[in-house]
DNA sequence: ATGTTC
């Protein structure tokens, strides 16, 4: 993106002037290099978001932003229902409540290396991955309804995981206000056999090593220790979320004129929060959030089963589970005024600072773990919410590395086997049902996640706590 | 992201 016309209003915060239909400014968090790597389309999309009815404060793009459907991926925007504010299916994204959870193991990475190949093999057998992957759990209509209402709470009640896990999940494992009965039959049907599956694209389960600690105090509170192994799970709401996104994007686009909304881009389809359609989407989307929370909970249970067989001394405790594709009603201070807002985070992670009431007691004094999945074969990060993030971006931060090139271009530049061999030479085992998928996810197709989190820290979005490097990657 | 195009 060209820097001309942008004003660096704070370190690594670039403001786009409020022009045309924009109701608020647009702010992009980046250094000069990340800004140069950003598509012009990110600027266009974030300006479009800034023109939507009822938007509050500003439209924000995170340091890992790239262009997406309507909203950029890495976009944050909050709306006031009483001021005609809208909810947008494109502002949440197709993979509703896609997110990351991190499990500590209390075990040295050396113990993983001793069983690395068989552990990778057994994880790949236990964790269904790939396009259309299905699991052994089949839900009937009543179970589907219970799952969509209960989220991870439902999963734990069914024996998938431990009651103490729930404290370490956003919304304590269950998103309130879900309306399972309004979720279409088609969406429910698509999800029937997809619980506890990874899916494809950039979703993965990785066994990683804590390679570096940058904040010893917070790391200790998070039970992260140098040289120990952790498990990171990145996935979302599978076919159900995708079906909901498809249905509501269409319906919101058709209904927009009737709501008096002129869309700058059809892909920005949205409806007033106060409208029947807006309320209906919110209820269905919350069911999608519960689906993703239950899915990651079942994947955790499957991973624990494999670890129990190979490393019985390992105890896979949940550090935290946080989503990066949601719209949630939250309390925020805007210009020192307390307001209730509907915050869209699409490819952006909630990042609550110390003292936030939504955090469990064990984490409240230090702040929320902000879990950042890097690209396959590189590094991932644990950050902690910074109190400055509330003013900077409504307590939000980045979510990953962000693509630097298209899937198509990546598949031209690399082969799956080549990438796999390169990583094997560095001691990383990658298992995937799709060679093309591995090529599309080649580390070189992504921006530097290290640079993204450094900018996030300098911009006051979140502070770095620990750097994680992969040992085993189970890839969709 | 996605029964990788209704």
pLDDT tens profile A35-60: 999 999 999 999 999 999 999 999 99
Residue-wise burial string across A344-381, b where 16 or more C-beta atoms lie within 10 A, e elsewhere: bbbbbbbbbbbebebbeeebeebbbbbbbbbbbbbbbb
pLDDT digits (tens, 9 = 90+) for A408-423: 999 999 999 999 999 9
Write out the two tokens for A1.
């993106």
B5 C1' – A320 CA distance, angstroms?
A: 37
| Residues of A known to be catalytic | 399
**Statement: residue A255 has pLDDT above 90:** yes
What is the per-residue pLDDT for A362?
97
Judge contact between A104 and A373, C-beta under 8 A: no
Residue-averaged pLDDT of chain A: 97
Judge contact between A81 and A176, C-beta under 8 A: no
The stretch A307-323 carries a mean pLDDT of 97
**Statement: residue A402 has pLDDT above 90:** no
pLDDT digits (tens, 9 = 90+) for A372-386: 999 888 999 999 999
The stretch A162-166 carries a mean pLDDT of 98
**Statement: residue A157 has pLDDT above 90:** yes
Judge contact between A451 and A408, C-beta under 8 A: no
Distance of alpha carbon A65 from alpha carbon A378, whole angstroms? 19
Q: Which of A285, A265, A70, A304 is nearest to A164 (CA)?
A: A304
**Statement: residue A252 has pLDDT above 90:** yes
Assign domain A7-404+446-475 one CATH number from 3.30.110.30, 3.40.50.1820, 3.90.79.10, 3.90.1860.10.
Answer: 3.90.1860.10
B2 C1' – A318 CA distance, angstroms?
A: 28
Distance of alpha carbon A422 from alpha carbon A430, whole angstroms? 10
**Statement: residue A95 has pLDDT above 90:** yes
Domain ranges for chain A, please list them: 7-404+446-475
What is the per-residue pLDDT for A261?
94
Distance of alpha carbon A247 from alpha carbon A249, whole angstroms? 6
Closest residue (Cα, C1') to B3: A132
A276: buried, middle or exposed (CB in 10 Å: 19+, 13-18, 0-12)?
A: exposed
Q: Give the CA count within 13 Å in the CB-facing half-sphere of A443.
A: 20
Nucleotides of strand B under 7 angstroms from a protein beta carbon: 1-4
| HEC readout, A325-392 | EEEEEEEEEECCEEEEEEEEEECCEECCCCCCCCCCCCCCCCCCEEEEECCCCCCEEEEEECCCHHHH
Residue A404: band (very low, low, confident or very high) from pLDDT cuts 50, 70, 90? confident
State the pTM of this model.
0.98
Residue A100: band (very low, low, confident or very high) from pLDDT cuts 50, 70, 90? very high
Q: Residues near chain B (nucleic strand), Cβ < 7 A? A: A 69, 94-95, 98, 130-132, 186, 190, 194, 199-203, 235-236, 238-239, 242-243, 245, 434, 476
Eight-state DSSP code of residue A258? G
């Amino acid at each position: 993106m060209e820097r001309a016309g942008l004003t660096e209003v704070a370190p690594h915060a670039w403001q786009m002037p409020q022009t045309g239909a924009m109701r608020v400014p647009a702010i992009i968090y980046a250094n000069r290099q990340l800004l140069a790597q950003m598509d012009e389309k990110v600027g266009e999309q974030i300006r479009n978001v800034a023109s939507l009815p009822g938007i509050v404060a500003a439209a924000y793009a995170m340091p890992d932003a790239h262009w997406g459907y309507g909203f950029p991926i890495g976009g944050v925007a909050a709306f006031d229902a009483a001021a005609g504010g809208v909810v947008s299916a494109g502002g949440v994204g197709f993979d509703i409540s896609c997110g990351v959870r991190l499990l500590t193991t209390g075990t040295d990475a050396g113990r993983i290396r001793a069983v690395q190949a068989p552990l990778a093999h057994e994880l790949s057998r236990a964790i269904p991955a790939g396009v259309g992957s299905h699991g052994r759990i089949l839900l009937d209509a009543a179970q589907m309804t219970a799952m969509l209402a209960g989220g991870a709470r439902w999963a734990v009640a069914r024996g998938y995981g431990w009651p103490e896990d729930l404290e370490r999940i956003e919304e304590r494992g269950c998103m309130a206000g879900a309306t399972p009965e309004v979720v279409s039959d088609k969406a429910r049907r698509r999800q029937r056999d997809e619980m506890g599956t990874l899916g494809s694209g950039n979703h993965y389960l990785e066994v990683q090593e804590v390679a570096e600690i940058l904040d010893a105090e917070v790391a200790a509170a998070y039970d992260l220790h140098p040289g120990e192994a952790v498990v990171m799970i990145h996935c979302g709401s599978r076919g159900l979320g995708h079906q909901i996104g498809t249905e509501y994007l269409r319906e919101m686009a058709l209904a927009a004129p009737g709501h008096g909304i002129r869309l700058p881009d059809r892909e920005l389809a949205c409806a007033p929060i106060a409208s029947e359609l807006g309320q209906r989407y919110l209820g269905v989307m919350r069911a999608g959030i519960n689906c993703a929370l239950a899915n990651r909970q079942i994947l955790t249970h499957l991973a624990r089963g494999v670890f129990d067989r190979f490393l019985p001394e390992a105890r896979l405790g949940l550090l935290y589970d946080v989503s990066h594709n949601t719209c949630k009603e939250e309390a925020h201070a805007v210009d020192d005024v307390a307001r209730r807002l509907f915050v869209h985070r699409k490819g952006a992670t909630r990042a609550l600072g110390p003292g936030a009431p939504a955090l469990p007691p064990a984490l409240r004094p230090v702040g929320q773990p902000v879990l950042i999945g890097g690209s396959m074969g590189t590094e991932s990060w644990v950050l902690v919410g910074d109190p400055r993030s509330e003013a900077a971006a409504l307590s939000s931060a980045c979510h990953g590395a962000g693509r630097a090139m298209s899937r198509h271009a990546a598949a031209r530049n690399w082969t799956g086997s080549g990438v796999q061999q390169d990583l094997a030479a560095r001691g990383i085992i990658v298992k995937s049902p799709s060679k093309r998928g591995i090529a599309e996810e080649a580390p070189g197709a992504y921006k530097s996640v290290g640079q993204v989190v450094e900018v996030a820290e300098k911009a006051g979005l979140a502070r770095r706590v620990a750097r994680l490097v992969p040992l085993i990657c189970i890839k969709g």
